[in-house]
């Protein structure tokens, strides 16, 4: 590769690694929220008479989940775009 191609490739690799790290963090956050909702569901069933919660809090949590899902989808799109661009340089390296 020529020097400009090397620099372009290196930049793409940096961006790709950053997107992969962001996706890992997003996955962890979504999994944790999922676990929280599972526990909340169990509490609704098992502690119905003593459980208190407010609609605003639940609406806020659901809105947060929707924003995270949107962000996650954008990251997946960015990863796919970078994979296509990196593929122009040859097979993708292992990350």
Supply φ then ψ for residue 87, to 5 degrees: -60, -25
CA atoms lying within 13 Å on the CB side of residue 44: 9
In a domain, 78, yes or no: yes
| Banded pLDDT at 74 (limits 50, 70, 90) | very high
Element (H, E) at 60: helix 55-87
Are the beta carbons of 86 and 92 closer than 8 angstroms? yes
Q: Tell me if 17 sits within 8 A of 92, measured CB to CB.
A: no
List all residues 6 or more positions away from 13 whose beta carbon is below 8 Å from its beta carbon.
Answer: 86, 93
User: Which pLDDT does position 58 carry in this prediction?
Assistant: 85
What does the pLDDT read at residue 95? Answer: 73
Domain residues for the domain of 12 are 3-47+54-84
Q: How many domains does the chain have?
A: 1
Question: Which among 64, 82, 85 has a CA at the least distance from the CA of 23?
Answer: 82
Q: Is residue 92 part of a domain?
A: no
In a domain, 93, yes or no: no
Structural domain contains residue 14:
yes
Please give the pLDDT value at position 1. 54
pLDDT, residue 2, reads 63
Q: Are 30 and 69 in contact (CB under 8 A)?
A: yes
pTM of the model as a whole = 0.79
In a domain, 77, yes or no: yes
Q: What is the pLDDT of residues 3-61, one digit of tens each?
A: 878 899 999 999 999 999 999 999 999 999 999 889 989 998 998 888 887 889 888 88
Lowest mean pLDDT, pick from 16-20, 56-60, 72-76, 91-95: 91-95
């Amino acid at each position: 590769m020529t020097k400009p191609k090397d620099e372009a490739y290196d930049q793409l690799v940096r961006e790709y690694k950053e997107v992969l790290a962001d996706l890992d963090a997003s996955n962890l956050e979504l999994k944790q929220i999922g676990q929280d909702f599972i526990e909340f569901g169990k509490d609704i069933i098992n502690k119905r008479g003593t459980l208190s919660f407010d609609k605003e809090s639940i609406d806020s949590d659901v809105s947060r989940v929707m924003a995270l899902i949107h962000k996650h989808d954008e990251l997946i799109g960015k990863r796919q775009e970078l994979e296509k661009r990196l593929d122009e340089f040859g097979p993708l390296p292992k990350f």
